[in-house]
A and B are shown apart, each in its own frame.
Chain A
Amino acid sequence: MSNIIDKVFEHSTRIIAFSVLLIVAWIFTVLFQNSLDSMQAFGFDFITDTKWAPNLEKFGALPAIMGSVISTFLAMVLAVPVAIGVAIFLSEIAPEKLKSPIGVSIELLAAIPSVIYGMWGLFYFVPIIRDIFGGLGIGMLTAGIVLAIMILPFMAAVTRDAMDTTPDILKESAYALGGTKWDVIKDIIIPYAKAGIIGSMILALGRAIGETMAVTFVMGNVHKISLAITAPATSIPVTLANEFTEADTELYFSSLFELSFILLLISFTIISIAKFYFLRKTRRA
């Protein structure tokens, strides 16, 4: 009897596990199939063309792709140094009494739904940017900053966890050679935690590039590549969120699907790289 229960259990967990695989494959297939019309119509030009004119049945995705890449890049440039600073403070500098309250607050920040970051950004951040740089206040720069604030807590928390894994005895060895706190942080802790730090950054990058709600509020949805980072722009998720309801032709619909297919490929690549780093780390330990 117990033998049968074991068998049932074994098979049901197997089915559930494989269904995950199936769903991934399904999504890939659906996105690819729906993109076919657009792929046939524009070919490789879809990625390199800058003109997105639904009324002319002309779809070029470069502004959206560039928007995703640049806003994410801005977010990373702003968030990485701050996240590392916060992590160093929490792991090495803060007195014991402060570690836990600040650590918990950061984890709470990481749990705020992205739509709230978007609303907060639109109503309280856009005016500040407008005052400083002029213009509308919505655009690439605002999106980058809001994204940076959004990914920062996650990055800081994971980086801190990675730094905390440095064995005390290793730190003490460096102090015992006459190292200062700064020497120990830069020569021992950061190199030791390197894999975890890079992993957290890549995961944050993956989250930023696919982020929709936070960015939709503050990006502007303008399909134009502008030299000014304060000008309104768009990104792949922003385009998808704004335009699916308006997609009145087959080609428009298919073009949006091709955009989402491209986004999926980018995210998939990023996660694969992160996995590679994490796997390397676990194999070592």
Chain B
Amino acid sequence: MATIINIPHEKALEVKDFQFTYNGTTEPSLKEISMPIAKNSITALIGPSGCGKTTLLRSFNRMHDLYPGNRYEGLIEFKGRNILEPKEDLIQLRTCIGMIFQKPTAFPMSIYDNVAYGLRLQGIKNRSELNDRVEKALQDAAIWKEVSSRLKHDANGLSGGQQQRLCIARAIAVEPEVLLFDEPTSALDPISTQGIEKLVIELKEKVSIIIVTHNMQQAARVSDYTGFMYLGELIELGITEELFVTPKERLTEEYITGKFG
């Protein structure tokens, strides 16, 4: 029923017959989703509000486990294993699959400590190693020049765009293989948004990226592959240009031409 292309790339993740049901409901919020996530590429998830794109994104790092009673079914394959297994080590999984949220979430600590946080959780205490990795992460997140002189300052003193780049630095400092972006620019002004988009594109050399966005232009600008979701189902997954120019599904076409949304 859905149109899912085969990707020529190596796969970072593979979703098979995935269903997700929230606590207290019987109707699954995500139904029979199957899709590949290409390695070192950007896959965008688009669709109207409530279509399940964020729910799907939060399944990749098992964020739903923080709240009791949520149920996963099916398979999400990552490095040869099904991460939905109950025995999956979530702490370990989340260091491999990082996440950036809708709003900047600087922790109530200094800029340096924010970036070092994930590293310290992994038990890295060596001062010079921490310094090196914090600097590298800040450079990769294109914010080093702005903050290098005030690493000890409170991170909450930065602007929204700077804080979001700090969050990206914090996430890439632990060298994840996959990064999940949940509408990362929805709280930012156009200039900061541009900066984040540029950064996301640069990052795909090192990590595989999945980005949820309600902004179709953003998906078109940054992503290699785009998946269109509607009412908990994945309707179409295709190469971004093809999906926007020649959608195979009628629903996709109606959505991208603005007939609903």
Q: Do the beta carbons of A178 and B66 come within 8 Å of each other?
A: no
Task: Say how far B210's CB is from chain A's closest CB, in angstroms.
Answer: 13
Give 1 or 0 for each of A205-217: 1 = CB within 8 Å of chain B CB: 0000000000000
Which of A96, A169, A192 contacts B101, CB < 8 Å?
A: A169
Q: Do the beta carbons of A183 and B121 come within 8 Å of each other?
A: yes
Chain A positions within 8 Å of B122 at CB level: 178
Give 1 or 0 for each of A121-153: 1 = CB within 8 Å of chain B CB: 000000000000000000000000000000000
Q: Do the beta carbons of A169 and B91 come within 8 Å of each other?
A: no
Select the residue from A167, A169, A176, A194 with max chain B CB neighbours within 10 A.
Answer: A176
Measured in the bound complex, the distance between the Cα atoms of B92 and A174 in whole Å is 13
Q: Do the beta carbons of B108 and A176 come within 8 Å of each other?
A: no
Give 1 or 0 for each of B70-114: 1 = CB within 8 Å of chain A CB: 000000000000000000000110110011011101011100000
Q: At the interface, yes or no: A113 with Cβ under 8 Å from chain B?
A: no
Which of B68, B102, B103, B107 contacts A174, CB < 8 Å?
A: B107
Chain B positions within 8 Å of A192 at CB level: 108
Chain B positions within 8 Å of A180 at CB level: 91
Q: At the interface, yes or no: A179 with Cβ under 8 Å from chain B?
A: yes
Q: Contacts A169-B101, A169-B105, A170-B105: A177 and B66 contacting too (C-beta < 8 A)?
A: no
Name the segment of B27-35, B167-175, B196-204, B234-242 touching the other chain.
B167-175
CB proximity to B under 8 Å, residues A224-282 = none
Measured in the bound complex, the distance between the Cα atoms of B102 and A282 in whole Å is 25
Chain B positions within 8 Å of A191 at CB level: 107-109
Q: Do the beta carbons of B105 and A178 come within 8 Å of each other?
A: no
Task: Say how far A255's CB is from chain B's closest CB, in angstroms.
Answer: 48
Measured in the bound complex, the distance between the Cα atoms of B107 and A170 in whole Å is 7
* Smallest Cβ-Cβ distance to A178: which chain B residue: B95
A-B contact count (CB 8 A): 63
Measured in the bound complex, the distance between the Cα atoms of B66 and A171 in whole Å is 10
Q: Do the beta carbons of B105 and A177 come within 8 Å of each other?
A: no
Task: Say how far B117's CB is from chain A's closest CB, in angstroms.
Answer: 6
Chain B positions within 8 Å of A171 at CB level: 66
Which of B61, B95, B102, B108 contacts A188, CB < 8 Å?
A: B108
CB proximity to A under 8 Å, residues B226-240 = none
Q: At the interface, yes or no: A12 with Cβ under 8 Å from chain B?
A: no
Q: Do the beta carbons of B91 and A178 come within 8 Å of each other?
A: yes
Task: Say how far B70's CB is from chain A's closest CB, in angstroms.
Answer: 14
Q: Do the beta carbons of B94 and A177 come within 8 Å of each other?
A: yes
Task: Say how far A52's CB is from chain B's closest CB, in angstroms.
Answer: 48
Chain A interface main SS type = helix
Q: At the interface, yes or no: A172 with Cβ under 8 Å from chain B?
A: yes
Q: Do the beta carbons of A177 and B68 come within 8 Å of each other?
A: no
Q: Do the beta carbons of A169 and B94 come within 8 Å of each other?
A: no
Q: Do the beta carbons of A177 and B121 come within 8 Å of each other?
A: yes
Q: At the interface, yes or no: B118 with Cβ under 8 Å from chain A?
A: yes
Q: Contacts A169-B102, A169-B105, A187-B107: A174 and B117 contacting too (C-beta < 8 A)?
A: yes
* Smallest Cβ-Cβ distance to B63: which chain A residue: A172
Chain A positions within 8 Å of B107 at CB level: 170, 173-174, 187-188, 191
Q: Do the beta carbons of B121 and A178 come within 8 Å of each other?
A: yes
Measured in the bound complex, the distance between the Cα atoms of B168 and A177 in whole Å is 11
Measured in the bound complex, the distance between the Cα atoms of B108 and A194 in whole Å is 10
Task: Say how far A242's CB is from chain B's closest CB, in angstroms.
Answer: 47
Which of B68, B92, B101, B121 contacts A173, CB < 8 Å?
A: B101
Q: Do the beta carbons of B98 and A177 come within 8 Å of each other?
A: yes
Measured in the bound complex, the distance between the Cα atoms of B61 and A195 in whole Å is 32
Chain A positions within 8 Å of B121 at CB level: 177-179, 183
Measured in the bound complex, the distance between the Cα atoms of B98 and A169 in whole Å is 14
Which of A170, A178, A188, A194 contacts B118, CB < 8 Å?
A: A178
Q: At the interface, yes or no: A101 with Cβ under 8 Å from chain B?
A: no
Chain B positions within 8 Å of A172 at CB level: 63, 66, 99, 101, 105
Q: Do the beta carbons of B91 and A176 come within 8 Å of each other?
A: no
Q: Do the beta carbons of A177 and B109 come within 8 Å of each other?
A: no
Q: Do the beta carbons of A177 and B170 come within 8 Å of each other?
A: yes
Chain A positions within 8 Å of B105 at CB level: 167, 169-170, 172-173
CB proximity to B under 8 Å, residues A81-97 = 95-96
Measured in the bound complex, the distance between the Cα atoms of B130 and A238 in whole Å is 56
CB proximity to B under 8 Å, residues A156-203 = 167, 169-180, 183, 187-188, 191-192, 194
Give 1 or 0 for each of B119-156: 1 = CB within 8 Å of chain A CB: 00110000000000000000000000000000000000
The 6 closest A-B pairs by CB, nearest first: A177-B118, A176-B99, A173-B105, A178-B95, A178-B94, A191-B108
Known: A176-B61, A177-B117. 14 other contacts (CB 8 A): A172-B63, A172-B105, A173-B99, A173-B101, A173-B167, A176-B94, A176-B98, A176-B99, A176-B171, A178-B91, A178-B121, A179-B91, A179-B121, A191-B109
Complex A-B: 7 CB contacts under 8 Å:
A172-B105, A173-B99, A176-B63, A177-B98, A178-B94, A188-B107, A191-B107
